[in-house]
Homo-oligomer: A and B are copies of this chain.
C-alpha cells in the first residue's frame, strides 16, 4: 500500500511516519516504481509497536530506538539478546543509591540477577525515596510486594514459550515487559478503588 493508506490503517500521520523513518524506528518502504513506494504488513506492525512503546510504555524516541535496534540486531544467543533488549527498555539511570538492601532482597528471594541489570540501581534509588518520604509501611511490606512481583514475572516468562523465532521472542518480551506494566497498573487501580470502597464502607 501507499504511505497514505499506511497512515490510515495505523492512525499515525504521514509526517510522523517520515519522522520515525528518519530516526530509524521504522524501515523505509520498497521503491516499486520511480514514483511509487510500497508499504506492507511489516510496516503496519512496526508502527503499532512504536506507538505502543512511546504512547503506552512512555519511552522516549531515543529509548524506543535503542530497544528496536536491540531487537533488529542479528545475534545467535537468544538469552543474551533478551537481556540486551530488556536492559534497553529499562533505560539505565545511574544512581549513587546504596544497593545493599537490593542485594539482600535478591539473595533472600533466591533470584538469579546479573550485577548489570539496571533495575538494581533504580530499585535502590526508589527504596531511598520511599524512606525519605517516611513510607516505612511500604518498606515493611517489601517482601509481600516481591512475592507478587515474582508471580507476575513467572506469568510473563511463561508466555515466551512457543516464541522460538528470535525477533518474535524479543518483541514478545518487550511488549510484555512494557505493556505488561501498564496492564497491571491499570488493573491494580481499578481493584484499588473497589478495595478502598469496601474498606471505607461506601
Chain A residues in the interface with B (C-beta under 8 A): 45, 48-49, 51-52, 56, 58, 78-79, 82-83, 86, 90, 106, 109, 111-114, 117, 119-120, 122-123, 126, 129-130, 132-135, 137-138, 141, 144-146, 148-157, 159-162, 172-173, 175-177, 179-200, 202
Q: Which residue of B lies closest to A129 (CB)?
A: B52
Q: How far is the CA of A117 from the CA of B105 in the complex (A)?
A: 35
Known A-B contacts A130-B179, A137-B159; A193 and B113 likewise in contact (beta carbons under 8 Å): yes
B residues near A152, Cβ cutoff 8 Å: 145, 148, 184, 188, 191
A148 B138 Cβ-Cβ under 8 A: no
Of listed A132, A176, A192, A200, residue having the most chain B CB within 10 A: A192
A56–B78 alpha-carbon span in the complex (Å): 31
- Contact B157 A195, beta carbon cutoff 8 Å: yes
Q: Whole-angstrom distance from the CB of A187 to the nearest CB of chain B?
A: 3
Inter-subunit contact A180/B126 (CB<8 Å): no
Contact between A189 and B144, CB atoms less than 8 A apart: no
Hey, which chain B residues are within 8 Å of A82, CB to CB? 196, 200
Q: For residue A111, which residues in chain B have a CB less than 8 angstroms away from its CB?
A: 190-191, 193-194
CB distance from A103 to the nearest CB of B (A): 11
Contact, CB under 8 Å: B180 / A138: yes
